[in-house]
Amino acid sequence: MKARDGHFKSRFAKKSKLMNRRVSIDGKTFASKLEAAVYLELKNLSRTGILQILEVQPRVYLTEAKILYIPDFKCLDLRSNEVFFVEAKGQETTDWKIKKCLWEHYGPATLHIWKGTFKRPSLQQKIPIIKNN
């Protein structure tokens, strides 16, 4: 086949830079197994009435320069009626470290960071926002 036919494929499958594998659950595609595991954990908490998943991969703009950050989930804590965001992190890149600092100062709500593996995801850190008066 030729490239101009629109069906040109590489002989070698492209590998992810961070070695993650895409996973589909409930008709949703996740960037990694860890992200899918966090979704299943949040879904279980949703069934028990603790929280509600509002959005998958919401768009959040940080700073007045509108730096785009896309966390994995936006949730509502049904007990306190507070909105929070969830991020599943396997490896911390330099880009992530910068956006994490920006989130502390410009984020719209608390950010929950989950780490671990597909079999054992766990909530590692909560980043509250710093209110500038």
8: in domain: no
Mean of the per-residue pLDDT values of the chain:
84
The pLDDT assigned to 16 comes to 58
Please report, rounded to a whole number, the percentage of residues in the chain having pLDDT higher than 90. Answer: 53
1: in domain: no
Interval 120-127 mean pLDDT = 88
The pLDDT assigned to 28 comes to 85
Contact 109, 82 (CB under 8 A): yes
Q: Is the pLDDT of residue 113 over 70?
A: yes
Question: What CATH number is attached to the domain comprising 99?
Answer: 3.40.1350
The pLDDT assigned to 133 comes to 44
Please report, rounded to a whole number, the percentage of residues in the chain having pLDDT higher than 70. Answer: 83
Interval 105-113 mean pLDDT = 93
The pLDDT assigned to 81 comes to 94
Q: What is the bridge-based pairing of β-strands 23-25 and 73-77?
A: unpaired
7: in domain: no
CB atoms within 10 A of CB 130: 10
The pLDDT assigned to 26 comes to 84
pLDDT digit string (tens) for 17-59? Answer: 556 678 888 888 888 899 999 999 999 999 999 999 999 999 9
Structural domain range at position 75: 19-127
Residues in the chain: 133
User: Whole-angstrom Cα distance, residue 115 to residue 76?
Assistant: 20
54: in domain: yes
* Structural domains of the chain, count: 1
